[in-house]
Structure formats: structure tokens, C-alpha cells
Amino acid sequence: MADRFSVIGTAGELGNFDQTLVSAEVELVAQQMFPIEQVINVTSKARKTGRTSQLSQIGAQTMADLSESTTLGMTEASAAFVSTSRTLTQTTKGRDLFITLLAEETGTAPSEAEIVDTLTKAYVKRRMTDLAALYTEAGSGSNLIGAAGSGFSYASHFLQGLTRLAVGQVGGRKNLILAAPAIAEAGAESQFSEWQKLGSAWLDQDISVETGFLGLSPFGVDAWFTNDYSTSGGANVSLMLYQRAIRMEIVMGAKVSRNDTEYGVGSSSLKYGIRTIYAMNGSRDTSTTNSGVVAFLTSAA
């Protein structure tokens, strides 16, 4: 075993793991599992401005008819620039996996590919969990639709949600994120079945990802599903939202690293880890009145 300690942790051993390439692979696979930039407003911050940033909201404006003036040339149409803001707080997320010396020596340790796959899924799960938790943006008013025990329906959920978004006038791509248990309920609705027949089939697609696109876009609303949904009052929560209603600011994407210098006395383990730094929050109105988010309460959790 002494020979083992003398080999692990050398420059040659560390050179077998390219952290940059692995991190890039994690980002690529994460995008395949769920392309989050298609669902919410995602930006990479070129400058690190601290732990928080303020996202300004400009009130609705309209242009006026101008008339000619012999004095000014054209009459003025002015309005005071008044804005409010939402706070985005950068936080560090991470996960470490330890592979014991015994597992390595007995051949029971997972492969490097399996470890990276596990870290990638943890990365996607955390981002989706954070997004699902923002169902509270819809508040408890008219943008909160349905109740515990009710099934997802085209008329009572989808159309009502689309109406609420239209009234909010936030703009941008519209998305429906179904809690996984609601997939069967949505698929049983005749309106969604008709979309399948019109070439927007999703049951026939080979979707082998944990979270993904259902292949449906009724009324221009892209339908997705997620296993990482929130629950409230005994109900599963699905979301319909404008892309601009939620903002994600990324300071550091997925960074995967390995430390195999701890195989010596004491730890005797191989450590893999993933780190990321980002902020995610509503970008409109307040945390309970975001006009760009509608929450659906459906079947019991």
C-alpha cells in the first residue's frame, strides 16, 4: 500500500483529469438535459460587481403624437424616468463526492464518467429546484390558479394562465413548465392530443432526459416538464412564465475539479467536486406580484 501512496497525487496522475474539458462537458450535457436559457433570461456577468446586483424595472411608456411648433420645431413629449428594482444575490453552490481508498482498491468505485454524470445531474437539479421555488412570484392572487387535488386541464389551467400572462404584458418567449405528475393529465386533454396529430407529437419522441421539451407549443407556449418541482399545501406546482420574468446572472458556470492528493494518511479518499456561482430571481414587480409568472396548483403531492 505504501507504493499506492507514492503514486497517487503525482503530477502525472493529476494530468489525467482535464478540469477545463470536464467542466465544458458538464455545461454541454446540462444544456441538453434542460436548456434553461430558453426558459428564463440568462446572462453571464462580465464584471463581478459584488454579492448582489440590482435589476431596474422601467415603467410602461407610450409615444405621443407630436405636432410642429414654430418655436421648438416639434412639441415635447416627456415623462419622468421612475424605476424600481429587484435584487439578485449571488450565491455559491457546490457538491463533493468522496471515493474511499477501499472502494478504489476493491474495484467497487464508480468510473470517472459516472462521477461526472452524477455531478452534472446535481448541477441541473439545483438550477431547476431554484427555478421551481420561484412559483411564489405569482403570489396568492389571480396568477395562482387551481387547487390541491385538481388535475391539469386545458381550459382551467392552460387558457387561464395564458390569459393572465397576456394581461401582464411582460413580453418575450412563453413557457409552460409542468410538474412531472401533470404530464399524463395534460396529455389526456383533447386539445393537446390534437397538437400531437398536427405534427407536434411528443409521445412518439424518444426523450431520454430527466427534464426536457415535450414537443408542444400550443398558442406559442413551449411546454416542458421537470422532476424538480415545488409543492405547496399538498399540491404540485407547475409554472407558465414569460422568459423575461425570471433572470439568472451567472458569475461562474460549472467548475468540476478533482483532488487526489488526499490519498495519504488521514483522509485516504479521492475527492471530486463541482462549484457554481449564480443569482436567480424574479425580474418584474415584486416577489408576490410578478405579472410574468403564473403558478398552477394540481394533483396532490
d(CA 30, CA 26) in angstroms, rounded, equals: 6
117 and 263 part of one domain: yes
Does 74 fall in a domain? no
98 and 183 part of one domain: no
pLDDT of residue 41: 94
273 and 203 part of one domain: no
Identify the DSSP state of 294.
E
159 and 274 part of one domain: no
Range of the domain at 202: 135-247+284-300
123 and 219 part of one domain: no
239 and 186 part of one domain: yes
SS (H, E, C) 51-96: CEEEEEEECCCCCCCCCEECCCEECCCCCCCCEEEEEEECEEEEEE
Ramachandran class of 171: left when φ > 0, alpha when ψ lies in -120 to 50, beta otherwise: left
With b for 16 or more beta-carbon neighbours within 10 A and e for fewer, the 30-52 pattern comes to beebbebeebbbbeebeeeeeee
32 and 175 part of one domain: no
pTM: 0.83
Our count of domains for the chain comes to: 2
Q: What's the pLDDT tens digit per position in 6-62?
A: 444 444 444 567 888 999 999 999 998 899 999 999 998 755 667 888 888 887 788
160 and 222 part of one domain: yes
d(CA 43, CA 105) in angstroms, rounded, equals: 44
Residues 192-202 have a mean pLDDT of: 51
Does 25 fall in a domain? yes
Band the pLDDT of 4: cuts 50, 70, 90.
Answer: very low
- DSSP SS3 for 120: helix
Q: What's the pLDDT tens digit per position in 234-257?
A: 899 999 999 999 999 999 999 999
Does 226 fall in a domain? yes
